[in-house]
Amino acid sequence: MHSEFSLRRFISTLGHLRWVLVPALAVAMVGCGHKQKGETTSVATPPAVKVTKPQIRNIVRTVGQPSFVEAYERTSIYPKLTGFIEKWYVDIGDTVTKGQVLSDLFVPEVDEDYRTKGATVELDKQKIELAEKTVKVAHANVKAADARLVAARAILEQYQAQVDRWESEVKRLKREVQTGVVDRQVHEESENQRRSSIAARDKARADILTAEADLESKQATEKEDEVAVDVAKAALEVAISDWKRMEAWVGYLKLYAPYDGVIVARNANTGDFVLPAAGDPTTDHRAPYLSPDGQSAPVYVVQRTDVVRIFVDIPEQDANFVHTGSKASVMIRAFRDQSIPATVTRTSWALNVKSRTLRAEIDLHNTQMPEVYNDRNGHEVVKNKPGADVQILPGMYAYGKVIIERPRVHALPVSALTHSGEKTYYWSYENGHAVRTEVQTGVSDGEWIEVTNHEIAQADKGAEPWAPINGTEQVIVGDISTLTHGAAVTLDTGVAAPKLQGPKVASDRPLHPKIEQN
């Protein structure tokens, strides 16, 4: 024990002497006039690195988030008219069909106005019948006036013939009176006959003028009566339109189900006074589905539950890879507690400007509902197993996942990339040097990341600065934190570059792994 302690003390003493003797020896060498050589040999050697190449892989990324179940449609039923609830027919939990009456409203003034409008329509119809009969009478009067005019013209021709006869007779008798063949008295009697015929002819002419005026009057009356028929028909059309308008208002006295669904809220009570766009102001303020004023509620709330929707908000970097038909899954703890395979039924196409996310909707068939269903875009919705005795209820918590698949793409290990600001780089091995190269990336599964294009180091002016990844690039992997751009490196050929585990391309394997339940 004592000898071992003495040995340690001797070694420690030698260590202290080294710090004293070495500087003294250096001073002695300089004092003796020895010259040191100006050239020294560097003992630093380039670091050895391992390289790999982009591999063809299937990149599968899952985007999931907590969500909730919502009915495919939900409609709040408000009255169109201000009135009282006369009778209600359904309660919460009742299944209704499209067009089924939910409740009746009592608005007596609307009923009375509707009956008045109907009576007005019947009255206008009778006015049309009367006007049409008046037109027939006017048409007959026109025909009679025309006949009288024809008769007056015939009488005028008769009297004109008599005038012509007696004028000729008077002229003949006048010559004979001058020769003494006929007595003057006979001539005078013929002159009187001529004057009488002229007077009758003039009267016939006056009768013709009277008949023509009467005909024109009858014709005007006929046209007026025809216009009266058109006016009566137009009035009937207005009355019918007004009657139909009131008929529509009467239709608002009944509240109907807009589609097949389930009543999830009822605020209808016999005698309740209800208001348009507000509903029932006597509703408890703690009732669900209050109206916008927060002081009343809709009379009924109907939900369509044959199909339910689950929402997943996709981050901006993944939005371009999610589309209608993308694979998905839904976990609803309160319903079977297992993943339900599904597909994305629709997307919002545009990102939310506040959250920078893309809304994706997943439609699921509810149990105990029709087995065949296509959404509005014609895409088939995944069906649940038949025979289940529990339905997916709107409002349940859910966890939705959307699976992004990128088959047969060039990929690199995530650890091979570095980032600076918004740019991504990898270190490439080129002619014995490490070169930092900017790269464009796609989807990542956490271990591997899709690489699409790399920067061209010396691109011609105006040429495309990017070139597609082709799998021949030599990318440095391992400890890349000590590399500098353009520094000399050597290849470590002793051990191959490490490979991360992950699904490789295989023609007989699906593009996505089995979906976990949580």
What are the residues whose beta carbons fall under 8 Å from the beta carbon of 323, sequence distance 6 or more? 344, 347
d(CA 364, CA 513): 22
* Residue 297 pLDDT grade (very low, low, confident, very high; cuts 50, 70, 90): confident
**In this predicted model, what pLDDT tens digit does every residue of 313-323 receive, in sequence order?**
999 988 989 99
Q: What is the pLDDT of residue 389?
A: 47
What average pLDDT does this structure show over 327-334?
89
Model confidence at 1: pLDDT above 80 = no
How many helices and strands (H and E) does the chain possess? 3, 21
Q: What is the pLDDT of residue 343?
A: 92
> pLDDT higher for 383 or 141?
141
| Range 126-130, long-range pairs (CB < 8 A, 24+ positions) | 127/232, 127/235, 127/236, 128/229, 128/232, 128/233, 128/236
Pairing of strands 490-491, 48-52: parallel
Asked if residue 446 lies in contact with residue 63, where contact means CB atoms within 8 angstroms, the answer is no
Q: Which segments of 147-299 are extended strands (E)?
A: 254-256, 261-266, 273-274
Q: Which residues sit opposite 362 in a β-bridge?
A: 310
Residues constituting the chain: 518
Q: DSSP code of 446? A: S
Structure tokens, 412: 């690199």
The dihedral over CA atoms of 190, 195, 200, 203, expressed in degrees to the nearest 10, equals: 170
- Closest by CA to 492, choosing from 435, 434, 410, 419, is 434
**In this predicted model, what pLDDT tens digit does every residue of 419-458 receive, in sequence order?**
998 899 999 999 899 999 999 998 888 899 999 999 987 6
Model confidence at 17: pLDDT above 80 = no
Q: What is the pLDDT of residue 14?
A: 44
**In this predicted model, what pLDDT tens digit does every residue of 50-97 receive, in sequence order?**
999 999 999 998 999 999 999 999 998 999 999 999 999 999 999 999
Report residue 401 CA to chain centroid gap: 24
Q: What is the pLDDT of residue 30?
A: 39
* Residue 270 pLDDT grade (very low, low, confident, very high; cuts 50, 70, 90): very high
Model confidence at 107: pLDDT above 70 = yes
- Among 167-176, 330-339, 359-368, 371-380, which is the least confidently predicted range? 371-380
Model confidence at 362: pLDDT above 60 = yes
The CATH number of 302-405 is 2.40.30.170
**In this predicted model, what pLDDT tens digit does every residue of 38-54 receive, in sequence order?**
444 444 688 889 999 99
Model confidence at 16: pLDDT above 70 = no
**In this predicted model, what pLDDT tens digit does every residue of 227-238 receive, in sequence order?**
999 999 999 999
Q: What letter represents residue 468's amino acid?
A: P
Query: What is the residue whose two structure tokens read 């007779």?
Result: 169
What average pLDDT does this structure show over 397-410?
92
Indicate the burial class of 145 (C-beta count within 10 angstroms; 0-12, 13-18, 19 or more).
buried
Q: Where are the domains of the chain?
A: 79-100+253-298, 110-247, 302-405
**In this predicted model, what pLDDT tens digit does every residue of 469-513 receive, in sequence order?**
999 999 999 888 888 888 999 988 764 454 544 444 433 334 443
* Residue 202 pLDDT grade (very low, low, confident, very high; cuts 50, 70, 90): confident
Q: What is the pLDDT of residue 292?
A: 63
Q: What is the pLDDT of residue 379?
A: 55
- Domain 110-247, CATH class in plain words: mainly alpha
For domain 79-100+253-298, give the fold.
OB fold (Dihydrolipoamide Acetyltransferase, E2P) (2.40.50)
* Residue 174 pLDDT grade (very low, low, confident, very high; cuts 50, 70, 90): confident
- Closest by CA to 363, choosing from 328, 388, 387, is 328
CA distances from 491 to 44, 54, 494, 502 (A): 16, 17, 9, 26
Mean pLDDT of the chain: 80
